[in-house]
Structure 1
Amino acid sequence: MPASTHPRLLILAVLAACGLSACTSTETRRTETPAPEPLPVAVTKPAPALTFQGPVLTGDGTCTAPAPAGAAAIEIGIGECDLVRLKGKPPTDVLVGEGRAGREVQVLYNEPGAKELYFFVNNRLDRIVK
């Protein structure tokens, strides 16, 4: 077939040749702007754990040291061993763990007719459930 009889085929062949020549070109042009430098990222340090003072209860219900005679009544804010000293007997059960706020302790006393549960956070009585 002569190329003059099919001008569309001639145009398609020229376009295909131009397209392929662009793929094999070794010339590169950078017309885009370079990427900006990354911003430094601030690293946050975890908050230090709250500290507590005084003797604390172990998992078996004993104190790590004798409780000072500071607290006179069972009230919010007393220490774990103050509770045991004021109750006059070891607890029925003690759960010791770590929570968001630090050391968390649950102390259970089975009293006649009721159960008392004392919640401590960092060696301070936080709440009482009777």
Structure 2
Amino acid sequence: MRLPVLLVCAAALGGCSVDMGGFAFQSQTRGGVTTTRTTSGSAGISTQEPVLMPDGECSVGASLDPSTRPLPNEIALGITECELVRLKGTRPSDVLIGESGKGQREVQVLYSEPGGREIYMFTDNRLSRIVKPGQG
């Protein structure tokens, strides 16, 4: 009997996110009068890595992603959008977010540097191409 219950619990927890919601009932008696108050709340945790928002800020959330890793030492192919911003130390000049024909998230991050514009292109939150001034 325990094995089927365990399998159902594992299947329920195997998704990409956890959402806990519920209600709380509180009764209070003052001067012989009982009042009941109902409150509700919810909490969510994402298993996806943070991504850049259109304003250049990283999405907020606690990540349970096993690929979460320490900040890389340098800007290189494969880093995430938020890792780029942390390595650069400033918000980007512009962020363009779209979707490819294959349903992938595509992001172009623009930094206006003294030597010209640098464009960092991401596919599914991984740096795939860098275009710097003087490059073809």
Q: TM-score, normalised by structure 1?
A: 0.56
| Structure 1 residue 117: Cα displacement | 0.1
Specify the alignment match of 2:75 in structure 1: 74
Specify the alignment match of 2:123 in structure 1: 121
| Structure 1 residue 65: Cα displacement | 2.9
Which of 101, 104, 107 lines up with 2:106 in the alignment? 104
| Structure 1 residue 111: Cα displacement | 0.3
Q: Percent identity?
A: 56
Q: Give the paired residue count.
A: 79
2-structure distance, mates of 1:57, 1:86: 14
2-structure distance, mates of 1:68, 1:77: 12
| Structure 1 residue 70: Cα displacement | 2.8
Q: Give the aligned residue type for 1:64.
A: S
Specify the alignment match of 1:87 in structure 2: 88
Q: TM-score, normalised by structure 2?
A: 0.54
Q: Deviations over 1:48-102 (max 9, x none)?
A: xxxx941100011000038963322100000000000000000000000111340
Largest Rg, 1 or 2? 1
1-structure distance, mates of 2:78, 2:48: 12
How do residues 1-130 of structure 1 correspond to structure 2 at under 5 angstroms?
A: 53-65=48-60, 69-101=70-102, 102-130=104-132
Structure 1 unaligned spans of 5+: 1-51
Structure 2 unaligned spans of 5+: 1-46, 62-67
SS in 2 for 1:116: strand
Q: RMSD between aligned alpha carbons?
A: 2.0
